[in-house]
Structure 1
Amino acid sequence: MSEPRLISHPRKAAVARRASPYERLKQAIMSGELLPGEQLIEIALAKWCQVSRTPIREALTRLEQDGLARRTERGLVVRESSPGEIMDIYEARIVLESKVAAVAAERHTAADLMAMRRADDRFAAVDLQDAEALAERNRDFHRAIWAASHNAALVDLLERLDMHLGRYPLTTLAFPGRHQAALEEHVALVSAISDRDAEAAAQIAMQHFTAARDIRLQLWQEE
């Protein structure tokens, strides 16, 4: 394993130094510093994180439990996911996002609605040329809906699915016309949640994420 490249931005570097070995390695996988199939060698990782091998060993165990690493004949490596597996994650997310929207419609507070609308305003104002910001602002909006469900079990499952999808940085929101369509779907979703119409909220969320899945599939077919 070659050492992951060091983060050059001073602020990001300071944050990385304060993070636990698990968080540092998880972020390295999510950002692509550690590539799919790359070996995860304790000695090299301990040197990079400037810790002993014991916390690295614990971090690797957690990464394996998270599904971000797997054991092979070469030892532990960053897990690779096939397009089929990613489609399976999308299918699961469609179901869960539909459910969490329905629960949010039933349980939300006025503060939750305000958080959703503010998050959507930030998504609307994002630079369309900045794919990373597009994905992050969209993620903030959906996390506001998750929070409005006040259901920790659903949020935990969605966070795990989002973690796996986050390893594939090509955002469907950069697809022509998708940002505007997503904005309209967000507005309709918040409206249904505000009206406490659980059925409509579930249907809109299902359509929203089905569209994202179909675009992802189209992008793969065009590669």
Structure 2
Amino acid sequence: MCVSAGVYARIREDIVSGALPPGAPLVEVTMAQRYGTSRTPVREALRRLEQDGLVEPGARGMRVRTRSVEEILEIYDVRITLEATAARWAADRRTELDLVRLRRAHDFMEQTDATDGAAMAETNRRFHEAVWAAGHNATLVDTLRNLNAHLVRYPATTLTRAGRWATALQEHARLVEAITDRDAAAAAKIAEEHMAAAREIRLQMAGEDDVR
């Protein structure tokens, strides 16, 4: 891994973990000292992170991008539409191999420790990516991955809310069934309702935490 890539990975991890909180200034000289490197790798890393939507211009250079309820609404409103499209295309275009991958991803979710938020989020992400892949549209997959990257600044997962994990598993099972049956309309509706429920929980969490 080149120096700039390594610095990028470390800064990104610190943003996701909250070690660099929203609004934190990212001064090149200070960052270079923090990560034990020169300013050039830091500058290149910050440029990539800005493209990722994780940092933004501040009063003095760059800063960790701030959070807002409005942004949550924007992210989820777009994602609801795209997830429904992905599910519709998956039902239309899936192969038998896609079904094997979807069922395996769902099995992993069912075997996940429901007290481990990080593991829940990871297996949930893999399931959704399996749905995206079954639609066989690389542009849509790239768009959804880029959009999903914005949510890493909101690290608490909605799946830890009381009852949400069990409901998500049921919704995913119904989605696999609709895709298996090539019922595109049902698959799109299930995906849309699934993400709309996640949006409402995320908004509740933001209100409780005052979008810290």
The answer to whether TM tops 0.5 is yes
Question: Aligned residue for 1:174?
Answer: 160
Select the residue among 14, 17, 23 that pairs with 1:28: 14
Residue 76 of structure 1 aligns to a residue whose secondary structure is strand
1:197 aligns with 2:183: yes
CA distance in 1, matches of 2:110, 2:4: 33
1:84 to 1:154, Cα distance in 2 relative to 1, 3 A: same
Select the residue among 53, 63, 78 that pairs with 1:92: 78
CA distance in 2, matches of 1:79, 1:30: 11
CA distance in 2, matches of 1:44, 1:111: 50
Q: Name segments (4+ residues, structure 1) moved above 6 Å.
A: none
Question: Aligned residue for 1:5?
Answer: none
Deviation at 1:19, TM superposition (A): 5.2
Question: Aligned residue for 1:219?
Answer: 205
The equivalences for 1:135-214 within 5 A come to 135-214=121-200
CA RMSD of aligned residues (A): 1.9
Whether the aligned pair in 1 keeps the contact of 2:159 and 2:165 (CA below 8 Å) is yes
Deviation at 1:34, TM superposition (A): 1.5
Whether the aligned pair in 1 keeps the contact of 2:179 and 2:187 (CA below 8 Å) is yes
Question: Aligned residue for 1:122?
Answer: 108
CA distance in 2, matches of 1:216, 1:26: 22
Question: Aligned residue for 1:103?
Answer: 89
Residue 166 of structure 1 aligns to a residue whose secondary structure is helix
Deviation at 1:33, TM superposition (A): 2.1
CA distance in 1, matches of 2:4, 2:108: 28
What is the one-letter code of the residue matched to 2:178?
A
CA distance in 2, matches of 1:198, 1:186: 15
Question: Aligned residue for 1:9?
Answer: none
Whether the aligned pair in 1 keeps the contact of 2:25 and 2:63 (CA below 8 Å) is yes
What is the one-letter code of the residue matched to 2:18?
G
Unaligned segments of structure 1, at least 5 residues: 1-14
Identity over aligned pairs, percent: 52
Select the residue among 41, 46, 65 that pairs with 1:60: 46
Unaligned segments of structure 2, at least 5 residues: none
CA distance in 1, matches of 2:145, 2:127: 13
Q: 75-84 or 21-30, which moves further after superposition?
A: 21-30
Whether the aligned pair in 2 keeps the contact of 1:132 and 1:169 (CA below 8 Å) is no
CA-to-aligned-CA distance 1:162-217 (integer Å, 9 cap, x gap):
11112212211111111111111001101111111111111100010011111222
Whether the aligned pair in 1 keeps the contact of 2:25 and 2:58 (CA below 8 Å) is no
Deviation at 1:27, TM superposition (A): 2.3
Higher RCO structure (Cα 8 Å, ≥6 apart) = 2
1:33 to 1:221, Cα distance in 2 relative to 1, 3 A: closer
Scaled by the length of structure 1, what TM-score is found? 0.86
